[in-house]
Amino acid sequence: MQITLDSDDFTELGADLGPRDPLQFPGYAERLAANRERSGLNEAAVAGEGTTGGHRVVLVVMDSHFIMGSMGTVVGEKVARAAEHAVTNALPLVVFSASGGARMQEGILSLMQMAKTAAAIGRLDDAGLLYISVLTDPTMGGVSASFAFLGDVILAEPGALIGFAGPRVIEQTIRQKLPNGFQQAEFLKEHGFVDAVVPRNRLKDTLVKIIAMHQAG
């Protein structure tokens, strides 16, 4: 967030939300505690409102240091609430995705977040508001199959691994060798799945230009 927002101007949304162990999955509670201590995070996503280039925005940042950025009920809820906050306040939404996919320890409850987040983004679209999706390394699984690829503008960082199943899984399934660079950001840009590949040091300027152009229109 420090490289995206103008200053320390950030108000967190859903800071009180914390993961539970709804299925009493063996070892999950201990893993949550260990990840909290190691990462200093309460979950794999932080959401809030701030300013970038003088423009008010709603921001969601996922962090792969917390259980590989996997999407459980709390991550899905934070993304949905961020979209709803953007609609209520008529603000653009920017989401930085970094995830290995849905969180298996929460089973079907984690898969339900794909539909919930997609529906929330749909309401943002109905309101005519801008949604910029930024794909970082990696953006995979249920996250890529839901809100990550629903952006009005989709940006990616150089070399980011992006897709649903991993390359090895696909090769084993189709029994064919995949093209070089398959599922990397540059390959997706070449094939029309990503609008631009933007290095991190140019990301803020790019976001500000897109937001300004949208607001001017």
Let me know if residue 37 belongs to a domain: no
pTM: 0.94
CATH of the domain at 209: 3.90.226.10
Total number of domains in the chain: 1
Element (H, E) at 141: helix 141-144
Task: Give residue-wise pLDDT tens across range 144-195.
Answer: 999 999 999 999 999 999 999 888 888 888 888 888 888 999 999 999 999 9
Let me know if residue 212 belongs to a domain: yes
Let me know if residue 10 belongs to a domain: no
Instruction: Determine the number of helices (DSSP H) and then strands (DSSP E) in the chain.
Output: 7, 7
Let me know if residue 182 belongs to a domain: yes
Domain range spanning residue 108? Answer: 43-216
Let me know if residue 129 belongs to a domain: yes
Distance CA 184, CA 137 (A): 9
Let me know if residue 23 belongs to a domain: no
Helix axes 73-89, 107-126, angle to 10 degrees: 10
Let me know if residue 11 belongs to a domain: no
Let me know if residue 28 belongs to a domain: no
Task: Give residue-wise pLDDT tens across range 110-121.
Answer: 999 999 999 999
